[in-house]
């Protein structure tokens, strides 16, 4: 692998079998697979000055390993994804735990058996828990919107409490809307858990952190003689999508193009901007060993940030006397001015706009879209890797 900043003088796209736009999971997985399976020479073009996309991590001035674009915790039930990524890293034993700060009481999220006892007291909490077990069974996940639909006074009591104290205000801060106004799939990511497991991803068979961090994982994935990475290059300066062809550096390009950026940007937002939420990530280094008991504390009824993450609690890194925390402030994303489009806003109207952009690249047979931006989907890392593995299967088969 070579990594350079900018394109070299006389850069010739024709000397590459494939051009991959974006060095995040979607792009890096495709680049690696095409080189290995087809012997393709691949140019990876990335507009940031680093690889790893939103999973990028680095050591800050205090020497603490932090995640620049928000806390990333690996978890998956997909064996193929796990096997593929495990070629490039080993994993720590870390299981992510989250507490909600509800008027000063810290209770597990997803809301579980212990949270019920903390919220309602031991006796009443236990009664309500037994009712949940009788209704849904043990070790079951129940989305809050489903719980709210149950017509039973005890279950309503639980649903009202959890809705008000865990979901309503947090969701207002995160999305500017109530839980009923957003795609139900979003809040069902964090269901009530009828059981004692207090991990954020109960039942995910594989969870942990890459032992040497995410950026190192990406260095290993991109480390192949046939892969060249060009950082600080915005592909829009060299690539144009026409009706049935792609032009790179002013000439038709016949190799495969794998695009992992936002589709609206590729067309200068000419049908309108795809809506997103962005997040202001505010880091602070403190002169102490530990700030909070777990990786993340969600502020579900107070504050104007959503959560505080303490990285050392997730990575297990030992840095005596210093710790770095991150507060996340979510807000509307302003298109076209260089902000980071973090969260897709999934609703029928936005998906229709996305489809209109997607239709414009459908006829270009060597142009492929994959990833959270290019597919306009709220993907976790494993979902993106799965999608990139599938796309690369298709391309490999066609060669
Ligand atoms: P990205 O990582 O965004 O990569 C796309 C790359 O393309 C970027 O580097 C971008 O700079 C580049 N690019 C775009 N346009 C151009 C262009 N015109 N020219 C050149 N390059 C371009 N997932 C989990 O599994 N666990 C978590 O705990 C988790 N936490 C998250 C927390 C936050 C705050 C957010 C927002 C997401 C989180 N995710 C998590 C999701 C995870 O970040 C994504 O699933 C994953 O990083 C997406 O990979 P990608 O390759 O599709 O996109
Ligand atoms: N959520 C909430 N309170 C919480 C945790 C989550 O209201 O304590 C809702 C909120 O709408 C959030 C969604 O559930 O956007 C998904 O949460 P998750 O932690 O999966 O979000 P991410 O880590 O992707 O930001």
pLDDT at 327: 98
From atom 27 of ligand 1, which residue's Cα is the shortest distance away?
Answer: 72
Ligand closest to the CA atom of residue 23: 1
pLDDT at 1: 78
Cβ–ligand 2 contact at 187 (below 6 Å) = yes
Instruction: Return d(Cα 195, Cα 78) in angstroms, integer.
Output: 23
pLDDT at 383: 98
Which of 102, 107, 171, 346 gets mutated to test ligand 2 (max ligand atoms within 8 A of its CB)? 171
From atom 6 of ligand 2, which residue's Cα is the shortest distance away?
Answer: 190
From atom 19 of ligand 2, which residue's Cα is the shortest distance away?
Answer: 190
Ligand closest to the CA atom of residue 208: 1
pLDDT at 125: 98
Closest CA to 169 of 307, 272, 296, 277: 307
In sequence order, which residues have a C-beta less than 8 Å from that of residue 287 and are 6 or more positions away? Answer: 321, 322
Q: Which CATH superfamily is domain 2-51+222-271+346-398 in?
A: NAD(P)-binding Rossmann-like Domain (3.40.50.720)
Q: Where in the chain is the domain with CATH 3.40.50.720?
A: 2-51+222-271+346-398
From atom 16 of ligand 1, which residue's Cα is the shortest distance away?
Answer: 261
In sequence order, which residues have a C-beta less than 8 Å from that of residue 122 and are 6 or more positions away? Answer: none
Diameter over CA atoms, the chain: 75
Instruction: Return d(Cα 334, Cα 324) in angstroms, integer.
Output: 28
Positions in the chain whose pLDDT score sits under 70: none
Task: Give this prediction's pTM.
Answer: 0.97
Cβ–ligand 2 contact at 300 (below 6 Å) = yes
Atom of ligand 2 nearest to the CA of 328: 25
How many Cβ atoms are within 10 Å of 364's Cβ, its own excluded? 15
Q: How far is the CA of 196 from the centre of ligand 1 (A)?
A: 32
Helical H runs in the chain? 25-38, 79-85, 113-120, 122-136, 144-148, 153-162, 169-175, 184-187, 214-221, 263-266, 311-315, 348-362, 381-398
Contact 185, 346 (CB under 8 A): yes
Contact 141, 342 (CB under 8 A): no
From atom 20 of ligand 2, which residue's Cα is the shortest distance away?
Answer: 189
Q: Which two tokens stand for residue 255?
A: 């190799």
Residues with CB under 6 A from ligand 1: 21-27, 45-48, 53-55, 70-73, 234-236, 260-261, 279, 342-343, 371-373, 379-382, 384
Q: How far is the CA of 55 from the centre of ligand 1 (A)?
A: 7
Q: How far is the CA of 57 from the centre of ligand 1 (A)?
A: 12
């Amino acid at each position: 692998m070579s990594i350079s900043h900018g394109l070299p003088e006389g850069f010739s796209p024709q000397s590459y079998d494939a051009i991959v736009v974006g060095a995040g999971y979607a792009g890096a997985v495709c680049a690696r697979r095409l080189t290995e399976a087809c012997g393709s020479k691949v140019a990876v073009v990335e507009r940031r000055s680093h690889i790893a996309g939103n999973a990028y991590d680095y050591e800050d001035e205090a020497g603490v390993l932090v995640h620049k674009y928000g806390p990333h915790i690996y978890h998956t039930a997909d064996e193929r994804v796990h096997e593929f990524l495990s070629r490039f890293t080993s994993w720590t034993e870390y299981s992510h735990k989250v507490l909600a700060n509800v008027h000063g009481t810290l209770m597990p999220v997803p809301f579980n058996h212990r949270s019920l006892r903390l919220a309602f007291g031991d006796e009443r909490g236990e009664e309500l828990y037994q009712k949940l077990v009788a209704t849904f069974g043990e070790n079951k996940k129940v989305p809050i919107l489903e719980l709210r639909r149950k017509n039973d006074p005890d279950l309503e009591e639980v649903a009202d409490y959890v809705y008000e104290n865990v979901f309503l205000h947090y969701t207002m801060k995160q999305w500017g809307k109530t839980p009923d106004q957003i795609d139900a799939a979003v809040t069902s990511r964090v269901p009530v858990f009828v059981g004692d497991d207090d991990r954020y991803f109960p039942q995910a068979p594989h969870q942990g952190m890459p032992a040497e961090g995410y950026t190192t994982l990406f260095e290993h994935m991109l480390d192949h003689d046939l892969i060249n990475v060009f950082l600080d290059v915005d592909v829009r300066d060299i690539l144009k999508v026409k009706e049935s062809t792609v032009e790179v550096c002013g000439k038709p390009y016949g190799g495969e193009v794998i695009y992992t950026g936002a589709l609206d940007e590729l067309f200068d937002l000419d049908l309108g901007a795809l809506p997103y939420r962005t997040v202001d990530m505010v880091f602070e280094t403190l002169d102490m060993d530990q700030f909070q008991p777990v990786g993340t504390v969600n502020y579900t009824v107070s504050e104007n940030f959503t959560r505080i993450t303490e990285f050392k609690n997730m990575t297990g890194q030992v840095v005596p006397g210093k710790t770095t925390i991150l507060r996340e402030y979510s807000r509307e994303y302003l298109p076209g001015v260089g902000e980071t489009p973090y969260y897709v806003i999934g609703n029928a109207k936005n998906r229709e706009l996305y489809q209109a952009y997607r239709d414009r690249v459908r006829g270009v047979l060597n142009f492929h879209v994959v990833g959270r931006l290019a597919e306009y989907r709220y993907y976790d890392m494993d979902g993106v890797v799965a999608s990139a593995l599938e796309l690369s299967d298709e391309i490999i088969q066609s060669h």
